[in-house]
Structure 1
Amino acid sequence: MSNQSNTESESRIAVFASGNGTNFEALVNANLPAKICVLVCDNPDVPVIQRAKHHHIPVILSVPEKGVSKAAREQSLLENLTPYRVTGLVLAGYMRIVGPTLLSAFPRRIINIHPALLPSFPGRHGIEDAYKAGVRVTGVTIHYVDGGVDTGEIIAQEPVYRTDQDTLTSLEAKIHSVEHQLYPKTVRQLIQKGVL
């Protein structure tokens, strides 16, 4: 399936991911009114890279190196993104805090998905933290990215209800299923509004 609409669009998205890439795949397969023109990844050995190659989407590796500051790494990343004429950044399981260099280059044009109902359970273990806390309702949040950890303005949320039978694994599956529907739908709306 093509990762772009039939007509050339002004919206050109870079997806940032660090792992398996199921949300990346969901976005690629959603036939968004935009071109997903590049994947940015901070780990050279994760499945999302193969997913990108399968869809003929180029990959930029931005791997932290000892002695290289976040600002320098992000500046280099911006230079690597320049040829793609990117209009917005979509974080899909990206496990790094975005710094001021990227934030200032894409003001209110960076969004993220989080597997909990923010502001509850921020950080990289949102599903597990909600499960251990015993909450009956958790969910998925899509938000603008700011300088904090999952602290940006909320764009969309959808609840996921936990039953007595749910294990951590089954709750994860429920949340990922909602993510794969809500993220493409919300990204599409943001593209149509000219945000991305």
Structure 2
Amino acid sequence: MTKARLAVLGSGSGSNCQSIFDAIDQGTLDAEVVLVLSDHENAYILERARKRGVPVELLDCGGFKNRFPDESQAALAAKLKGLGVDLVCLAGFMRLVKAPLLEAFPRRILNIHPSLLPAFPGVEAWKQALEAGEKEAGCTVHYVDAGMDTGEIVLQARVPVLPDDSPESLHARIQEQEHVLYPAAIRKVMGME
């Protein structure tokens, strides 16, 4: 079987992208990242990819701060299809994916979210969990659909909320689990288990 061809989209530091790179290096993920894209030119995820010699690209979001226009998604879908991408991995990508990309990659777009979905969708889920007085938090890898963090769950990992947790300490522990969970979810979705 040939290696799974992945594209990673991110808006920030790219620590989950790094976990994918690490799993590939350790031989626990039979894949290659063929393109890393970001909607922010200074996002560290691009630097992580450059250091590995992985091609990077800045996404054209039409000048919109939060929207991901259909035309941009259609152009991206065509580019990824042309590269033979098997799976699109959202890693801290802060824009909603809609029809043009979803239709081009049905059940082939994953996202990782720092909560036990369906609880606490949206931004800063670890803060939402703390403010709600939860005893448990965690992370979820799910298929992307047209909603915000509403797609079918692939895998989850649980993280206890400790009595002295700050948002930062809880988030750091959730991220440790994310970095294990995302490569495992890719293996599951790509039938590598």
Q: TM-score, normalised by structure 1?
A: 0.89
Give the RMSD, CA atoms, in angstroms: 1.8
Q: How many residues align?
A: 187
Any unmatched runs of 5+ in structure 2?
Answer: none
Q: Secondary structure at the match of 1:140?
A: strand
CA distance in structure 2 between the aligned counterparts of 1:69 and 1:163, rounded to whole angstroms: 37
1:29-56 alpha-carbon deviations (Å, 9 max, x no partner): 1012111111121111111110000011
| 1:167 to partner: Cα distance | 1.2
Amino acid aligned to 2:45: V
CA distance in structure 2 between the aligned counterparts of 1:61 and 1:69, rounded to whole angstroms: 13
Amino acid aligned to 1:79: A
Trace 1:24-103 onto structure 2 (pairs within 5 A): 24-31=17-24, 32-66=29-63, 70-103=69-102
1:66-104 alpha-carbon deviations (Å, 9 max, x no partner): 489711111121233244211111111111100100000
- C-alpha contact 2:62 2:69 (8 A) present in aligned 1: no
- C-alpha contact 1:34 1:191 (8 A) present in aligned 2: no
Quick check: 1:23 aligned with 2:20?
no
Amino-acid identity (%): 38
Any unmatched runs of 5+ in structure 1?
Answer: 1-7
- C-alpha contact 1:111 1:145 (8 A) present in aligned 2: yes
| 1:159 to partner: Cα distance | 0.9
Q: TM-score, normalised by structure 2?
A: 0.91
